[in-house]
Structure 1
């Protein structure tokens, strides 16, 4: 199951959700301001992070600057608790499933979340990346055939 961590005012979050919806990708949305993030959530993110906390937190965020914090001086548990208490320090959106994670919205990278059957159909259609209309046509063909 794909989980996407979002905030209401995040335009990249809206783009990611729109893309997932257009590709009929099932996901669970967790609004960081309405859903208290847990140690489990953070552990799931860190399991897929190549650079640990650096991949998921924004040290340029207002709260980091106000508190004059240095991530290097904090223990893992201190940093997790800080994230739980201040979820706005997380980069957004964070899209994660059991195999992969994407931080932020990237039109190319988000394609890893397309179900394999749809990816195979797209690849067999020999469409060009630059031709968005042809890509949309292939998606419509897939979903129309899949609905039958």
Structure 2
């Protein structure tokens, strides 16, 4: 099952939800402001990233700039606690399933959440149109 962590004012969150609906992909939505991610959820997110914490943090957020965080020196436990207490620190949306994570919205990258059978069919159709 796919979980999408969203922020209500985020246009990328709206685009991602619309894309998932358009492709008939079931998901559970979690508004990060009303249902803050737990430390365990944040650990799980980081565990599914390729680049670690940097991949899920919004370095453009007001709070990040205001606090002047140095991600190299803060302990991971303190960072997880801070993110849990201040979910606006997260990029939005974060789309996650049992194996993958996508932070932010990319029309190309979100395709990884299509079922394998659908991706295979789309590839075959693209190959046929080339020939």
CA distance in 1, matches of 2:68, 2:123: 49
Q: Does 1:97 align with 2:115?
A: no
CA distance in 2, matches of 1:127, 1:41: 39
CA distance in 1, matches of 2:89, 2:83: 7
- 1:63-74 to 2 correspondence within 5 Å? 63-74=63-74
CA distance in 1, matches of 2:36, 2:92: 15
Q: How much does 1:26 deviate? A: 0.7
Unpaired segments of 5 or more residues in structure 2? Answer: none
Aligned counterpart, 1:139: none
Q: TM-score when scaled to structure 1? A: 0.80
CA distance in 1, matches of 2:18, 2:128: 22
- 1:46-125 to 2 correspondence within 5 Å? 46-125=46-125
Q: 1:78 to 1:122 in 2, by over 3 A?
A: same
Aligned residues: 129
Q: Let me know the Cα RMSD of the aligned residues.
A: 1.8
CA distance in 1, matches of 2:11, 2:128: 27
Q: How much does 1:113 deviate? A: 0.4
Q: Which runs of 4+ in 1 moved over 4 A?
A: none
Partner of 1:73, secondary structure, is: coil
Of residues 51-60 and 71-80 in structure 1, the stretch that sits farther from structure 2 once superposed is 51-60
CA distance in 2, matches of 1:115, 1:108: 15
Unpaired segments of 5 or more residues in structure 1? Answer: 130-148
Partner of 1:95, secondary structure, is: strand
Q: How much does 1:48 deviate? A: 1.3
Say which one has the larger Rg.
1
CA distance in 1, matches of 2:28, 2:37: 14
